């Protein structure tokens, strides 16, 4: 487990980091290192240089303003899971972050790294999708914003350019009558999501559903939204029966299979976990 040689940079600002990336086409951003370092040790990746963004102050904070929650890219899962602001404004994200890996992983891994790495079995992408997150990105060409639904392009591929850094994740704060839940079926070896279901529902005063989203990790090459199933719930009373019927025809496009679980079984898990997540979200709304 010895990586190949690489240079190491530790910029103190986003601007500086972006410049180093632009100057070094074979460089990679290093955040929590909990995905990048293992692949380097296995020599599946051999970047010529690492740009460690872990000490850039601007990427470290959680804040709320104007009805939205903003989380810096280098905020760790542990901070997210335990932040009162996140628990209040985006409890789904706190719940998903709290289920990642083990304690060591949660103390090192970052939201920016998790979303940028775009591992299909990661726990945060579905939550980011379900919450309608906006991802703020800085590059040598300036800054831009990408919606979560445009961010995840393919297996471990995002909308980020090589010289771009994800700087901040912005999430609209949950309104009244909103409930959410993240339910994960752990891969027994990796602990990642064999399937993870992220559900958000809103109910009006009478209890009928005014909005729903249901997204999955682990089932296909990227996190996916089961938009049709979710929209089928709008207007319903969110009873168990309504949930079951909304999910009965659900089929995740391009579900993937591997030696541990077939694509078909992942679909079954999505139905089972999706129903459980929706029921829990409803009870919390």
Ligand X SMILES: Cc1cc2nc3c(=O)[nH]c(=O)nc-3n(C[C@H](O)[C@H](O)[C@H](O)COP(=O)(O)OP(=O)(O)OC[C@H]3O[C@@H](n4cnc5c(N)ncnc54)[C@H](O)[C@@H]3O)c2cc1C
Task: Give the interface with ligand X as residue ranges (CB under 6 A).
Answer: 28-36, 38, 53, 73, 100-101, 105, 109-110, 112-114, 116-117, 119, 122-124, 160, 165-166, 191-192
> Nearer to another protein by C-beta: 40 or 71?
40
**Cβ of residue 223: shortest distance to another protein, in angstroms?**
19
Q: Identify what 5 binds: another protein, ligand X, none; CB under 5 to 8 Å per kind.
A: another protein
240 binds another protein (CB under 8 A): no
Q: Which of 7, 25, 26, 43 touches another protein by CB under 8 A? A: 43
Q: String of b and e for 24-56 (b: at least 16 CB within 10 Å)?
A: beebbbbbbbbbbbeebeeeebebebbbbbbeb
> Nearer to ligand X by C-beta: 27 or 247?
27
Residue nearest to ligand X (CB): 113
Alpha carbons 118 and 157: distance in angstroms, whole number: 6
113 close to 31: Cβ distance less than 8 angstroms: yes
**Cβ of residue 265: shortest distance to ligand X, in angstroms?**
19
How is residue 124 written in tokens? 């945060």
How is residue 229 written in tokens? 């199933």
> Nearer to another protein by C-beta: 45 or 162?
45
Q: Identify what 259 binds: ligand X, another protein, none; CB under 5 to 8 Å per kind.
A: another protein
- Interface stretch with another protein, choices 65-73, 134-142, 188-196, 232-240 (CB under 8 A): 188-196
Q: Which of 174, 273, 281, 285 touches another protein by CB under 8 A? A: 273
Q: State which H helix or E strand residue 120 sits in.
A: none
Please calculate the CA angle 16-17-19 and round it to the nearest 5 degrees: 65
Query: What is each CA distance from 64 to 171, 186, 191, in whole angstroms?
Result: 10, 32, 31
For residue 72, what are the β-bridge partners? 168
Q: Identify what 34 binds: another protein, ligand X, none; CB under 5 to 8 Å per kind.
A: ligand X
The 10 Å Cβ neighbour count of residue 165 is 25
How is residue 78 written in tokens? 């542990």
What SS3 class is residue 26? coil
What SS3 class is residue 170? strand
**Cβ of residue 142: shortest distance to another protein, in angstroms?**
37
**Cβ of residue 91: shortest distance to another protein, in angstroms?**
23
Closest to 199 measured CA to CA, from 219, 178, 185, 218: 178
Q: Identify what 8 binds: another protein, ligand X, none; CB under 5 to 8 Å per kind.
A: none
> Nearer to another protein by C-beta: 69 or 278?
278
> Which residues are at the interface with another protein (CB under 8 A)?
1-2, 4-5, 42-43, 185, 187-191, 259-262, 265, 268-269, 272-273, 275-276
């Amino acid at each position: 487990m010895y990586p190949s040689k690489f240079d190491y940079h530790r910029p103190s600002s986003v601007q500086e980091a972006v410049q180093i990336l632009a100057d070094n086409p074979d460089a990679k951003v290093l955040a929590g290192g909990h995905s990048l370092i293992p692949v380097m040790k296995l020599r599946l990746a051999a970047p010529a240089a690492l740009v460690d963004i872990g000490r850039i102050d601007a990427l470290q904070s959680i804040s709320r303003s104007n009805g939205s929650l903003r989380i810096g890219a280098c905020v760790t899962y542990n901070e997210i899971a335990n932040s009162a602001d996140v628990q209040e404004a985006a409890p789904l994200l706190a719940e998903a972050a709290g289920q990642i890996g083990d304690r060591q992983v949660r103390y090192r891994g970052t939201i920016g790294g998790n979303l940028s790495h775009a591992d299909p079995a990661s726990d945060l992408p579905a939550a980011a999708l379900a919450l309608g997150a906006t991802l703020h990105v800085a590059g040598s060409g300036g800054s831009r914003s990408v919606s979560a639904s445009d961010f995840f392009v393919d297996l471990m591929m995002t909308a980020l350019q090589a010289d771009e850094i994800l700087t901040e994740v912005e999430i609209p704060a949950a309104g009244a009558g909103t409930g959410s839940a993240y339910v994960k079926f752990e891969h027994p070896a990796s602990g990642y999501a064999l399937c993870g279901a992220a559900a958000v529902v809103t109910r009006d005063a009478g209890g009928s559903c005014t909005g729903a989203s249901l997204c999955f990790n682990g089932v296909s090459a990227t996190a996916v939204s089961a938009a049709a199933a979710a929209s089928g719930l709008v207007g319903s009373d969110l009873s168990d029966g309504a949930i079951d019927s909304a999910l009965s025809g659900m089929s995740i496009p391009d579900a993937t299979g591997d030696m541990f679980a077939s694509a078909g079984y992942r679909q079954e898990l999505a139905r089972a976990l999706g129903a459980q997540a929706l029921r829990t979200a409803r009870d919390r709304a």
